Amino acid sequence: MLEITLARRLVGGLELAAHKTASTSQPIERCPLPPELVISLHQHGGHSAVPVVDVGRRVLKGEPIGKPGPAPSAAVHASSSGRIAAIEERLVPAGNCLRRSLCIVLETDGEDRPYRAERADPWPAERAAQLERIARGGLAGLGGAVFPTSAKLASANSCRMLIVNGAECEPYISCDDMLMRAAPEQVVSGARRLADLTGAAECLIAIERDKPQAFQAVAAAARDAADARLKLVRVPSVYPAGGERQLVELLSGEEVPSGQVPSDVGFVCQNVGTAAALHRLAEDGEPLISRIVTVTGGGVAVPRNLEVPIGVAVGRLIEHCGGYAQGVARLIHGGSMMGFALPNDTLPVTKATSCVIAAGASEVRQGGESWPCIRCGDCASACPVRLQPQQILGAAHGADFDALGALGLDDCIECGCCDVVCPSHIALTEQFRRAKHALGKHRQRRALSESADERFRRKERRREEEAERGRAAQEALRHDVDAGEAARQAAVHAAVERAKRRREESQH
Amino acid sequence: MQLRTAAAPHAAPITSVPRIMRHVLYALVPAALAYVWFFGYGLPINFAIAAGTALVTEAGVLKLRGRPVRPALTDGSALVTSALLAFALPPLVMWWVPAIGAFVAIAMVKQLYGGLGRNLFNPAMVGYVLLLVSFPIQMTQWIPPRADDLQFPHLGFKASLDYSLAGRLPPGLTVDALTHATPLDTVRQGLRAMETFSEARAGSLFGEFGGRGWEWIEGLIALGGLYLLYAGIIRWHIPLATLGGLLAPAALLYLAEPSRFASPGFHLFTGASMLGAFFIATDPVSAAASDRGRLVYGAGIGLLTYAIRTWGGYPDGLAFAVLLMNAAVPLIDHYTRPRIYGHAKR
């Protein structure tokens, strides 16, 4: 019997307009292969992969083109067959920003010939070998943060609860929803493999309430699997219920201590997409070379989800979805709350690309008027971390770094809830990001000056000790000299005495 | 294709300062209509004078401070301050009373502290209290409610305007003939004179709970407050705590000695109780910030209001209570900061 429970209520958070039905009314479709793929070697958090191919070399679909760098890292593979046209630095979307990264430009041959048709060696039995295969398979968290899966699992010692995250709370994004509807058995099988790897006694699959179809599909697949560790949890449709820390609180009632990560206290969170990717890697030997991307927003003709080979330009996705519909005000990578705006549509899809929103003017915040903070406290009520954003803002304006630390700026997850509810339209999240940066710099400076102080004190101490030693040596020398002098005088005295005695004897 | 970028979040904000102020003003409309019905045209005249003064003052001070004028004038906050002041003033006063009140509220309490969001004290309440202690005669010129069985003279619109602007009354009428002690004052004097509560409130000026007319206005103000709660403009903590802080001692003492203390219903439906709980104490700028802090803040206002009404020198004490708790806000905020996620209990 499959256990289905209800998660706790989220503290703070927002019930935002979901904007998801537009993209879920169409089935997932495969994105056609473009003539060129730009595959970043920084597909994941941690260290970039190291290229193992040269320009001009022919590669097959799924062939490794980058090996994992120093941990945490993961391999990168050719998403299709073709010829390496260039290896150069380009701007690519990473976890939460654009960054420059070494990219492998692949000229596709349109044949999509697979690498090693006979498939790789069977899935190993012991954990270390499995983790190594996961790193070589290029697995990274597909929820958007793309932390290397092998590293996350390796650090998960004494895991009490495995959380497979299908909450997908951000507006617009529906790739996890569609994956759970289309391939629930892959999600469940991957979840069981993750449970094996972490040794967790409980494996909770968390799905938001507004995804009844996905929930039913996964529930059916979980029943078929008949694994006692599997449990399903309905999570309230409140943003950001799908954040790692929030999900841990919703599912266990415990909090992840400040400055630590969930795995430090026995929780491991993995996205449903990552679970499915693990299933495909273990069952079919298929590395992570494609992902589901939601293409949506008022600025795209036919919003839908696409199965996209890694490296396709964002503009190609829009084209395949009927092109731009009307004036596009902003192109957003990720969701409308935590995603970032793209400067153009030639940037490639990476493993972090869960969603591309071509947003119309009415869908996004425009610069416009803003007012001073009226201390309404709506930001504090919306904050899932229970911060007091209005007080942090004051401390940030005054560059009061001690107050910023005490008010918990480091604990801000940058979810953006405070921004959305602020009646004064203050860009709180952006100012907090800047304040975090400034606080980091301030701490660095302080650490530097403290270590300089310490060095100076040590040097002073050393100098004093040396002076002390010098004085002692001098003292000892003087003592020796004094002793020598006394001996000399005694000897002289003795000699004088002897001479005196001899004189007296000769006189007799 | 080149596109403009902007920082996350991209979702549009769901409310704005002008929208909040607009809703506060809307919520006062039913009570204002009832006010006009029972007490004549003093309220709209006082509001117009206060609003005009407030806007001119705000524009002038912002010019002097070298700050942009337009956003401050269009945010609606000066109008809300003026409306609250107009509700607090007696209907029968000359023009300079609301004008001085609004000038003090905007120039000294709001702009001298740095403008919207920076003031420590509620501007309308400082303006009101200043008028109350400076012009005690004018500030107690309350008039009795209009009712079929009450034979008090009432002024029409033109006569009201005439009095406000020029101090002229229609022939044969004096201020004394028009004015009457408020229910709160009547009960206070009665209880001081060792009458019982039921004796003190026996006159025809009293209704079911509070004063006649007043209880309708209070009820409509409460209704407006509930609308603000429903619309998400205010949250429940301050109104509930304020009314609770007022009701708890009122109920306890009334149960103990029903003859010597006014009833809880009387306290709730007279004076500025409802206006204070829903519209004045909820001014976010001068209130405590966290939910817990707001409970403390509201309860403090309720308790102090009761104490001043019962043992103090003024018939109503809400304005003083609000200002005293305004002063306590930094302390309350310091001690009621919520525990941050992932931090141990302090």
- Structural tokens at position A417: 């809830």
**Is B166's pLDDT higher than 60?**
yes
Concatenated DSSP letters for B220-284? Answer: HHHHHHHHHHHTTSS-THHHHHHHHHHHHHHHHHHHH-TTTS--HHHHHTSTTHHHIIIIITT-T
Contacts of B17 in chain A (CB under 8 A): 371, 374, 423-424
Q: Does B231 touch chain A (CB under 8 A)?
A: no
For the record, the structure tokens of B75 come out as: 């945010």
pTM for the full predicted model: 0.85
pLDDT for position A1: 63
Calculate how close chain A gets to B309, using CA atoms only, in Å. Answer: 29
How far is CA B240 from each of CA A65, A247, A291, B243, B314, rounded to the nearest angstrom?
A: 65, 32, 52, 5, 24
Quote the pLDDT of residue B192: 80
CA dist list (Å): A431 to A335, A403, A438, B10, B266: 20, 15, 10, 15, 49
Strands A304-309 and A340-341, by their bridges, are unpaired
Confidence of residue B173 (pLDDT cuts 50, 70, 90): confident
Phi, psi of A365 (to 5 degrees): -65, 130
Structure ipTM: 0.88
Q: Which of B96, B99, B93 is nearest to B42 (CA)?
A: B93
Q: Which residue of A has its CA nearest to B338?
A: A386
Average confidence (pLDDT) over B84-100: 94
- What CA–CA distance (Å, rounded) separates A153 from A369? 47
Report the number of secondary-structure helices (H) and strands (E) in chain B. Answer: 16, 0
The Cα of A457 is separated from the nearest Cα of chain B by a number of Å equal to 35
pLDDT value of position B2: 81
CA distances from B50 to A58, A115, A156, A299, B61 (A): 81, 81, 66, 48, 16
- CB-CB neighbors (< 8 A) of A419 in chain B: 9, 11, 13
Closest CA to B316 of B125, B193, B184, B203: B184
Q: Which residue in chain B has the smallest CA separation from A406? A: B340
> What tokens appear for A440 in the block?
């980091």
Task: Please judge whether B117 and A375 are an interchain contact, meaning their C-beta atoms are less than 8 angstroms apart.
Answer: yes
Find, among A145, A115, A131, A111, the residue nearest to A35 by Cα.
A111
Mutate to test the interface with B, among A8, A252, A374 (most CBs of B within 10 A): A374
Residue A391 C-beta-side C-alpha neighbours within 13 Å? 23
Query: A29 exposed, middle or buried (CB, 10 Å; 0-12, 13-18, 19+)?
Result: middle
pLDDT tens across the length of chain A (508 residues): 677 887 788 889 999 998 999 999 999 999 999 999 999 999 998 999 999 999 999 999 999 999 999 989 999 999 999 999 999 999 999 878 899 999 999 999 988 898 875 566 788 889 999 999 999 999 999 988 899 999 999 988 789 999 999 999 999 999 999 999 999 999 999 999 999 999 999 999 999 999 999 999 999 999 999 899 999 999 999 999 999 999 999 999 999 999 999 999 999 999 999 999 999 999 988 999 999 999 999 999 999 999 999 999 999 999 999 999 878 899 999 999 999 999 999 999 999 999 999 999 888 988 778 899 999 999 999 999 999 999 999 999 888 999 999 999 999 999 999 999 999 999 999 999 999 999 999 999 999 999 999 999 999 999 999 999 999 998 888 888 888 888 888 888 998 988 889 888 887 6
Residue the block writes with tokens 């910030």:
B289
